[in-house]
Structure 1
Amino acid sequence: MGSSSEQQSSENYDFTFKILSIGDSGVGKTSLIASFISAFSQYSAPTIGVDFKIKFLTVGGKRLKLTIWDTAGQERFRTLTSSYYRGAHGIIFAYDVTRRETFTNLSDVWAKEVELYSTNQDCVKILVGNKIDRESERAVSKEEGIELAKELGCTFIECSAKTGQNVQQCFEDLSLKIMEVRSLLEKGSTGGKGHILKPQPAGNPGPGLRRPGPPPDCCA
């Protein structure tokens, strides 16, 4: 019965949104997505270039299909991922609450990249402080996170990919905010059914890894 419901949700949905997760390497972007999609993995390998996952959920009475793009945080992959900002409906700015440099880099590096590459002027952003399960190692206060979120024009939430605390709420809040923006809602409309084209991997990148292909047409 569960699989039948899942099949139905994968065939029919009201909107499809492209979500981009950005931030320094090691802040837990891949783990946040994995926690939301299925289950947290203690040992997530660094993302090579760009990977993506798909999640169906119902929020605000609407059936949504989210394609969540997980970008590499390392400098050497930066040029590979710039094209994937195109057409994003929502952007997750992720940092590690135990590593202060990952917090300061959001305004010094990542916010500037969004300004440079994002094509949706009304794109919704959320600032996410991850790893609050390691409270004793905290280097960035919640108040500082709230203040930076105001500066960047983001909503704010702290969560733990490891325990799952606030992870579901993070994606639901972002989805609800996107649905409040008419221009994004129109771009995400599928008319009941829709498809997001997957990038074609070049060559054989190996198990579980995807190399960047052309951005999906429907997210342009």
Structure 2
Amino acid sequence: MDEKLTHPRIRVALVDDQQLFRSGLAVIIGAQPDMEVIAQAADGTEALAQICTHGPDVVLMDVQMSPMDGVEATRRIFGDGEVNMGARPKVIMLTTFDWDEHAATAIRHGASGFILKDSTPEFVCESIRAVHGGSAVIAPQSLAALLRDEPVSTPELPGQYLELTEREREVFNAVALGLTNQEISSKLFLSESTVKTHIGAILRKLSLRDRVQIVVYSYENCIGR
């Protein structure tokens, strides 16, 4: 059987207002045997049109563009009835800064994470594969910046968080530190399937989409810091 039919390539759209940067990404991604660049756009408005036309699996979306930036484009992608498209793509935000509040807002709108523009080609490609496979990504440098920051105050813990069991809080804190399921399994002496079950319960109880939103939730509420 044709391997291409068994393992179809990941269809990627690139959205950035710097053509040279887009071209560089296109070369890197196009060199991967399991990926192809099927659309490019210079701003959010053009991106929405390209996504509706080509139906990419994953979109690399710059945060700051004009006239429509990546945050607004992401909001429209995942907003109910905002854009008439088929299956919604996974979105990875591209940012210049270690911790970008705009990227965090895009995550709340539905993006699957963000990476720095100066990330290595290997990290960019692995991030695309991870998000396409259902995971979420956050640049290691950004996570480190999050964990270095000191909260200006200690707010009252959210009621939703207090509903978590003691074990779920342990798993929550481990996810917020950027640990993988395998690392959490080893740290807490749990099977990986049990870790996945706990993460599912945490996401449900806190009304979050994925594990990168757990990191943002932890940061915003100064939990486990």
Higher relative contact order (CA 8 A, sep 6+): 1
Higher helix share: 2
Bigger share in strand: 1
Please give the TM-score of this superposition, normalised by the length of structure 1.
0.44
Q: Which has the larger radius of gyration?
A: 2
Alignment TM-score, normalising by the size of structure 2: 0.43
